[in-house]
Every structure is written in C-alpha cells, then in structure tokens.
Amino acid sequence: DVIELGVPFTDPLADGATIQRANEVAVAAGVTFADCLGMVREARAQGLSAPLVLMGYDNPLLAYGEERAAADAADAGADGFIVVDLPPDEAGAFRKACAANGVSFVPLIAPTTAESRMGEVASVADSFIYCVSVTGTTGGAAVPSEVGELVATIRQHTDVPIAVGFGVSTKEQVARVGRVAEGVIVGSAIIAAIEGGSVEGCVDRVRAYVERVTGRSREGA
C-alpha cells in the first residue's frame, strides 16, 4: 500500500468537488507545505512504515523552494511527489533535486497524452506511473472500460508499475482496474469517508471503506 497526502492549494484545477472542498478547508485553516511535512514526521514517529507520497500542484513547491522541498520531504520521511501540473519535460530542476535526495518523481500519463510522448514520460519514472483513467477531474466520471487499452499502450513503453486513478471508487471498479494495472488509486472516496461523520470516527470509516472495496481485512490495524 502507498499513502497519498494532498498538499493544499488555492486553485486545484485537476480536482473535483470533494477534493476541492478539502483544499478549501485546509487553506482556510492555514495548512502549509511545511505543515504537511510535519504530519509526515509525526506519522513516521508513530510507526507508519508504508510508502508515502505528497500530491499536489507546483505553486506551493515553487513558493517553498523546489530543492528545499525535495530535501525536507526526504528528511521528514516522504518517499515521493506527484505534481499534477508539472510535466516531466518542465521538471528538470525538481526531478534532479528529487533524485539527489532519494525521493521519487511520479509522472502522470492521461488519455490525452500522445503515444509519441509516452515513452519519454515513462522513462523518468523510478517508482510507478500515475495513469489518469479519464479526461476531467478527480472524483468525476467513472473509470472507463477503455482503461485496459490505455494501460496496455503505456506498458509498451515501460516495465515500471502502473497505478490507475481518477474515477475509481467502488469495489467493482477497484477489481476491474486491479486486473489490468499493478496499482489502484482512490482519493475522493476516502476523503468523502473522512467527511462522513465525527473526527473521532474517521479512522474507522476509512478502514471500513478500504476493507469493503478491496475485500481485505486488517484486524486490529
């Protein structure tokens, strides 16, 4: 399993209503990139061992300083970055900083990515590739039936694991994506579970949701 921690941003264009709402709450509360790193440190101190990637947009990284962001993320215990609006060919300096600090830069490939560019994008992946299943925003349209074809096309260019996100929320969708890709990414549905009741009960709600869609049970986790 890999945990994705969203870094708040004022203009999350790639995200749907659920994640936009979470961004608004976090921004209003003054949550910064540095605060996110503090959360990572605290999670590691409490024994979190699963890989953790920071996901968000380039602007907060630029404001913090890209080299500093990569170094401090590594120091905090983060394993990588997914930067939605930073394509690999524009990320040379940040990719170099990530490599120097032993953290991964995870590239994204979408249905709109020309096949002629897929090899170039895939070549920078050192952990996994984020395959955007559908054109649009997170939490929107359901994962399309053609996702298997998209994954197969990407697979022609790389042996790196491929994880599919956008439009994945149900047990059936998780199973279908899991048959064609190495990873399944769920974001909006987990945030919806967090929002669905008291703060005290959010861990139980998230656990119940994950167990329901994956068919896995973690007694005592």
Residue 216 tokens read as 């896995």
Distance from chain centroid for Cα 216 = 21
Cβ-based neighbours of 11, under 8 Å, separated by 6 or more: 57, 59
| SS3 category, 211 | helix
DSSP state for residue 88 in the 8-state scheme: G
Cβ-based neighbours of 47, under 8 Å, separated by 6 or more: none
DSSP state for residue 90 in the 8-state scheme: G
d(CA 72, CA 81): 12
Which sequence positions are flagged as catalytic? 4, 15
Q: What angle do CA 95, 101, 106 make, to 5 degrees?
A: 40
Instruction: Identify whether the C-beta of residue 131 lies closer than 8 Å to the C-beta of residue 164.
Output: yes
Count how many residues are written for the chain.
221
HSE, CB side, 13 Å, CA atoms: give it for residue 167. 19
d(CA 36, CA 118): 31
